[in-house]
Chains A and B, each alone.
Chain A
Amino acid sequence: MASLPATLGAFRGADAPDLEALRKCVHCGICVPQCPTFRVLGEEMDTPRGRLYLMRAAAEGRLGLTAALGRHLDLCLGCRACETACPSGVPFGALLEATRVQLRRHGPPSRHRLLEAFVFAVFPEPRRLGAVLAALSVYRRSGLRWLVRATGLLRPFPRLAAMEALVDGVPRAEPLPAVVPARGRRRGRVGLLTGCVQRHLYPGVNRDAARLLALAGYEVVVPAAQGCCGALELHAGRADAFRARARALAAAFPADLDFVVTSAAGCGAAMKAYGHWLRDAADLGAKTRDVLELLAEAELPLGPLPLTVTYHDACHLAHGQRLRQEPRALLRRIPGLTLLELPDSDLCCGSAGVYNLLEPAIARDLLERKLACIAATGARVIAAANPGCLLQIAAGCRARGLDVEIVHPVELLARAAERAP
């Protein structure tokens, strides 16, 4: 967003939403049925069309930065399904983020202040997150968890309960080597983002991504000192913190890489937006690729995997990065694997960063819809390319007793690669 010294209706100073972009919405409503909160709530304020109308009213001075405006924007999952649907190309995600920046700077205080303070102190800080997860692990094994669940201690605290239910086990993370050499014909040199939640809860996904990239001909560089991409902060309107993280991340990767690769869709979408928010990290943004995007262009030796799989479109892969066919095409390349289409595959599962912690009721409703669709396919394996979705869907399957395996597509590809003749 260009920095605007003037005021634009209720918006002030830098990082105001772009009025021209807001005016692109012709109110046709094609986005409405694609919006998860419309599906759950069935009211206009909680549709993309309604939210754009409110943002535009604020930009045109018809509405202030009110608590209710903030509330309707808070309820948005930021899934950007509306962008996929929009025939006029309204950049909803960027408008939402800019309005949240304005609300944060000039609007009323957030209603989740304490929880947000905790989330932003821990989640984007890999070391702190690791410590919290280690504590959770002790809690889980000590019998305390059994006691808490049996007594219903957390029942009056739905947000804490949501957090407690989300994490099951914490795997032992083996650190990746600083450089993984390319195998076979060399295609280039890439950096690997290990992510925050990803490195602690899904280290195997990072390992598989590195192995597959190497197999595809890429030398993989894994800087040890890398931090968070800033996605959570971007989505929460914490623009300054986001920019600082983007700058630090750009500095952590060597400048001569061909690409910087992530296997977390949420990180990838945020990094690809760097150019929109700051010049210093624009180059990193332009070089960012999802691991599936790169692998889809490469040859991979794959052996048979006789599995029935369904694929859930992570919002920030399908809507945020417009990658829908690549993951499916890759999975179809595995001999013996049957890919079943998931109904409403691109409807958000309710995870949405930390949304499931902040708005547990709507997140649970969306998760139930997702699980019903999954059960209807009869697939035994669900693939999804974002750690948030993996956590959320896995927690739902555990709670429902569904006997399914939840994996990142690279895990299936790595398994198939091991079986290659």
Chain B
Amino acid sequence: MALSSSVLATLAEIVGPDGVVSSPEGRLVYECDMHTFYKGAPDVVALPRSAAEVEAIVRLCRRARLPIVPRGSGTGLIGGAMAPSGGVMVGMNRMDRILEVDLPNRCATVEPGLINLWLTRAVQDRGYFFAPDPSSQMVSSIGGNVSTNAGGPHCLKYGITVNHVLGLEVVTGAGDRVQLGGRVVDRPGYDLTGIAVGAEGTFGLVTAITVRLLHAAEAVKTVLASFSSIEHASEAVSGIIAAGIIPAALEMLDALMIRAIEEGIGAGYPKGAAAVLLIELDGPAAEVEAQAERAAAICRERGALDVRVARDDAERALLWKGRKEAAGAVGRLAPTYLLQDAVVPRSKLPAIMREVLAIGERHGVQIANVFHAGDGNLHPLILYDDRRPGELERAKAANEELLHACIAMGGTVTGEHGVGLDKAKNLPLQYADADLNFMYRLRGVFDPDRLMNPGKLLPAHPACGEGFRPARPRLPAGAWI
């Protein structure tokens, strides 16, 4: 779809000529996020610097009936920040200011393009941090975190993004700039912040975010335990949780993932182990000390080959660098991969990991694993080389089988990455018609003309816009989600 010159001219008036990207080369680099499998270049990219500019962009798009696709740092894993039907992509990188830090009330208000880790960097000298820590936190924007309701290793103890968002300013698809929630926690009326977090840009464009800040714990200890099998490691996870310990983070990495990390980063993970657990405990010093010992003992009881505690902050930081950059290091193993984000009940971890190995063997694909074991949130990376005939098809078949295996065990189709384009088709596995239709109607309140991030989050609906009516049963009662 070619844009009219008047649309381009108006955009340039709104954001300035240097805020409009319309060259073929410029549009090309915005055609995908980290899920490079899905490509769709926008007709133009606008790079606003203020909420007022965002509002003007939405008004323009409503007049011209152009799709609007928001984009943060482009680190999403679900094909959320790409433009399957063209239109205007709104890149938020230039709206990256910290508008206010209010330490007495433990909150901050930021623009959506601010990089997650930069907020913690701005307040850590004073003993505070922003808790949601997706592994991409050194790159991903808080706006993107809010849109996908991102999780992260430390969400086991601290909760996911929605638990840390107090209020939002949103320019809705209807063109209204509205305040949802606010810095005071208990507000009268609907919890609109709750439904807008995780909306993946289908409600509108987030222009400001008020988040909680937490006070850093008195002490932190990080334990690294290596195992001769994934099953032993999985049993140790169950043992730690059963003992009543709530680690700040409880992460598992398998041998293939360790190889990529050690080649790329040299973080100090033991190369021979079939699996390692990264266990972090934080809180009052005495409690952390006791829990670290208890967790280490449980790992040894479950057959750990080696258990060690990081000696200092530098070693801790390096272990975490390895964990957080794991997905980025996969380029050392294969040029392309499919990444799952399914969740299973924690008790099913040993069973599902056996299934992962079996599926990999059945389809002849390598699968690297790095995941939030404490939450039962899997991230199998199914490796393939797109130039070798048949590999992509095998990877896709393994991916589908894995997803169904997770759901059969009472899990969900996605944990923390969001739905995007990638998993929209899987939502009917999870929700009944009535549930999905209700979501369509809710979306229509914010975005009556269906301009906001089309094709994402909800499965494609019939052209008449009547809603979604697949003939699929609801999940069995009692399914664990």
Contacts and interface: CB of A to CB of B under 8 A. Distances in A.
Interface of A: 23-30, 32-33, 38, 42-45, 49-50, 53-54, 57, 62-63, 66, 68-69, 72, 86-90
Interface stretch (B26-34, B191-199, B239-247): B26-34
Nearest to A47: B29
Nearest to B30: A44
Interface stretch (B17-25, B369-377, B396-404, B470-478): B17-25
Contacts of B335: 23-24, 26
A45 B24 CA distance: 11
Contacts of A38: 93
B325 interface: yes
Contact of A63 (B25, B45, B74, B325): B25
Contacts of B24: 63, 66, 68
A44 B74 contact: yes
Nearest to A24: B331
A42 B329 CA distance: 24
Contacts, number: 111
Contacts of B328: 26, 28, 30, 86-88
A407 to B, nearest CB: 29
Nearest to B27: A45
Interface residues of B, number: 43
B264 interface: yes
A45 B30 CA distance: 8
B28 A33 contact: no
A88 B331 contact: yes
B445 to A, nearest CB: 32
Contacts of B45: 43-44
A63 B27 CA distance: 12
B25 A26 contact: no
A210 to B, nearest CB: 35
Contacts of A54: 25, 28-29
B94 interface: yes
A29 B264 contact: no
B407 interface: no
Contact of A88 (B23, B34, B332): B332
B25 A69 contact: yes
A57 B25 CA distance: 9
B276 interface: no
A26 B34 contact: yes
10 contacts: A25-B331, A27-B36, A28-B75, A29-B34, A42-B94, A45-B29, A49-B29, A63-B25, A88-B330, A89-B263
Contact of B329 (A29, A45, A72, A88): A88
Contacts of B23: 68
Nearest to A30: B328
B331 A89 contact: yes
A220 to B, nearest CB: 34
Nearest to A66: B25
A68 B34 contact: no
Interface string B45-76: 10100000000000000000000000001110
A71 to B, nearest CB: 8
B217 interface: no
A32 B139 contact: yes
B139 A28 contact: yes
Given A49-B74, A87-B261, A88-B331, 10 more contacts: A23-B331, A24-B335, A26-B337, A33-B118, A33-B138, A43-B47, A45-B29, A66-B24, A68-B25, A90-B331
Interface in B260-314: 261, 263-265
Contact of A29 (B47, B75, B330, B331): B75
B107 interface: no
A27 B96 contact: no
A63 B94 CA distance: 27
A89 B332 contact: yes
Given A42-B93, A88-B264, A89-B264, A30 B325 contact: yes
Interface string B331-345: 110011100000000
Contacts of B115: 33
Contact of B327 (A26, A45, A49, A89): A26
A87 B28 contact: no
B202 interface: no
A87 B264 contact: yes
B91 interface: yes
B414 interface: no
B136 interface: yes
Among B25, B28, B336, B337: residue with most chain A CB under 10 A: B25
Contact of A53 (B28, B263, B331): B28
Contacts of A33: 73, 115, 118, 138-139
A63 B28 contact: yes
A258 to B, nearest CB: 28
Given A24-B335, A43-B47, A87-B325, A72 B139 contact: no
A43 B45 CA distance: 10
A283 B24 CA distance: 43
